[in-house]
Structure 1
């Protein structure tokens, strides 16, 4: 049985400001397994960054229990480690941020080396380690460049190399791609995936974009107003979201919301024939390998006009969706809907069939 590497149980974080009391995190529990790429999604103010900062006690909670890699860090309202013990534990937890946090007066090499300042290594060992880290993140040729001479993606690679300097078991990414363009974002996410795979790193992603979680995570938690509102595998969450906010995140990430705006403007949809219905189909796994649309005509005499289609790979499992117009008699359409449901295809009628 796998034991979680991060256990946050019943975490509360309360801030007192003058006459106001702010509950940033309310009774939230999250367990993250070794080797997970775990996404925590929420809009600004949801409490996700505050929650993750309690993992290494950069934010001390008001209540709850924190266990990291088998060690109890916080319980009964108190830190359970000595100052030296906490320092050692923090070295196991690397962090990267949206704005890189590099020292402008130091080169890429010096920025990475700074993280090894207190390491029990010779000068030569430190130099070799820094070189290996820069190579690992694909930036060896930029070692002597200053941050002002680097692109956003290159700065983030330096920050990742620095975060890896003390061989952490956990890497926390706090909106680390928010300042990057889409192409560079994909490259950085690809690097995080590679580090997760090659080094066995547990990666915790904090983001307001479900697209980022969709691309690389295997589990996801959704937060709103300081509370955890939904948690599960990426496949489960995308296939069957329980919460309206989660559904909002997913429709944005898959592009279906933008597609539907355009679909509803089409004349064929505006003037939908009486024998037709506009449907949204969702399916996953082996179902994506079958000729769903072709089978509708063969099995039920229902013709299909596809207006939008998309297939994603979520944690190695294909997930697809279609928006289209199905045409046939009421009896044929009903039989087709029942046939789709039997084939594990979720069907939602968007228009027609009243």
Structure 2
């Protein structure tokens, strides 16, 4: 069983603004295990970036307790000394949306800057920088300047710099928001590779559930400074409880966009009597079963598939379909029940001759 490396317990962060208080984070408790890729999702102003800055005390909380790799670094009664806090911060790397590279320094110099107080010799620093650039695929760019790099390459430099002091934790604060979709996937693949190769614990801050879906194994959803839902990516995507989480997932899976287009089609707009437009969700071994063939054979119900998507989340296949089920009223009713018994979630979106 993995040990807990980050414990945030009952964290509050309150700011004073123009003679009134703003609660940016309210009573949030999150425990993150070593080796997790942990996504924290929320819209702008949700408090997610403020919460993550608490991890290394870049933001001091108003209340709560912070434990990093077994060491309490804050609990209101005592705070680490400046020396001990500096040492602890070296265990936590950070990458950001806008890279924060020094324009007048080469790629190698940007990475080496993080080793300024490392105690390594000049030769050792050079060797470490070379290894880090090799790790992120930039060995041939060591003498280039940031202006000569693409956005994805700049973020790779920032990642190499964040890894310079061999951190146990890497915090990614909207680090792919400035990148195009193809480059975003490449950076996420690199983070996944570093997680597996180095045993790195990664905390991802994002407003895109798609990014969480691609590489995270656990996810927390924040709204108005509060944690509203938390769990494995598989559980959250299969059984989202909160409306905000459901909205995020609809966007990430493409189901929302698909539904918007389908309702304008004649086959949906003029759905015949006895037909149902349904959203089917299923996970695990259910995805291996010929479900729609089975209901046709048993209940003489035809299935017109309008949209289908299947993905692998946390090594488990997860699928969803938008389907028109057609047959007798009784047959469609029995087919719907049979699907539910088989472990398929059935959401009736529209019934024939209904508005």
Contact map agreement 1:152 1:180 (CA 8 A) in 2 = yes
Q: Please name the residue that 1:115 is paired with.
A: 114
- In structure 2, how many angstroms separate the alpha carbons of the residues matched to 1:78 and 1:289? 55
What's the secondary structure of 1:281's corresponding residue?
A: strand
Give 1:249's aligned residue: 248
Q: Given the alignment of the two structures, is residue 135 of structure 1 paired with residue 131 of structure 2, yes or no?
A: no
Query: Partners of 2:232 and 2:346 in 1: how far apart?
Result: 22
Alignment partner of 1:36 is 2:15: no
Q: Residues 118-172 of structure 1: CA distance to partner in whole angstroms, max 9, x if unpaired?
A: 1121111110000000000001111111010000000000000000000000000
Aligned length, in residue pairs: 353
Determine the structure 2 residue equivalent to 1:21.
21
Name the residue aligned to 1:311. Answer: 310
Return the alpha-carbon distance in structure 1 between the equivalents of residues 189 and 3 of structure 2.
Answer: 27
Aligned partner of residue 188 in structure 1, secondary structure = helix
Give the corresponding residue for 1:275.
274
**Residue 77 (structure 1) shift:** 5.1
Provide the rounded CA distance (Å) in 2 between the counterparts of 1:3 and 1:184: 33
User: Does the aligned pair in 2 maintain the 1:63–1:77 contact within 8 Å?
Assistant: no
Per the alignment, residue 76 of structure 1 pairs with 76
**How far has the Cα of 1:301 moved from its partner?**
1.1
TM-score w.r.t. the length of structure 2 is 0.98
The answer for unaligned runs of 5 or more in structure 1 is none
Structure 1 residue 18: deviation in Å? 2.7
- Cα distance, 1:293 vs structure 2: 1.4
Q: Find the residue that maps to 2:234 and give its secondary structure.
A: helix
Matches within 5 A, 1:1-354: 1-76=1-76, 78-79=78-79, 81-352=80-351
TM-score, structure 1 length as denominator?
A: 0.98
Tell me, in whole angstroms, the C-alpha distance in 2 between the residues paired with 1:128 and 1:224: 44
Q: What is the rounded CA distance, in whole Å, between the counterparts of 2:247 and 2:46 in structure 1? A: 15
Give the distance between the partners of 1:129 and 1:330, measured in 2 at CA: 70
Distance (Å, rounded) in 1 between the aligned partners of 2:78 and 2:252: 40
Partners of 1:296 and 1:322 in 2: CA distance: 15
Pick which of 149-158 and 115-124 moved more. 115-124
Structure 1 CA distance for aligned equivalents of residues 270 and 77 of structure 2: 64
Supply the RMSD in Å over aligned alpha carbons: 0.9
Deviations 1:94-141 (A, max 9, x none): 000000000001010000000001112111111000000000000111
Q: What is the CA–CA distance in structure 1 between the aligned matches of 2:306 and 2:169, rounded to whole Å?
A: 43
Structure 2: distance between partners of 1:262 and 1:351? 15
Contact 1:308–1:324, Cα closer than 8 Å, also in 2: yes
Q: Post-superposition shift, 1:300?
A: 1.6
- 4+ residue stretches of structure 1 with deviation over 3 A? none
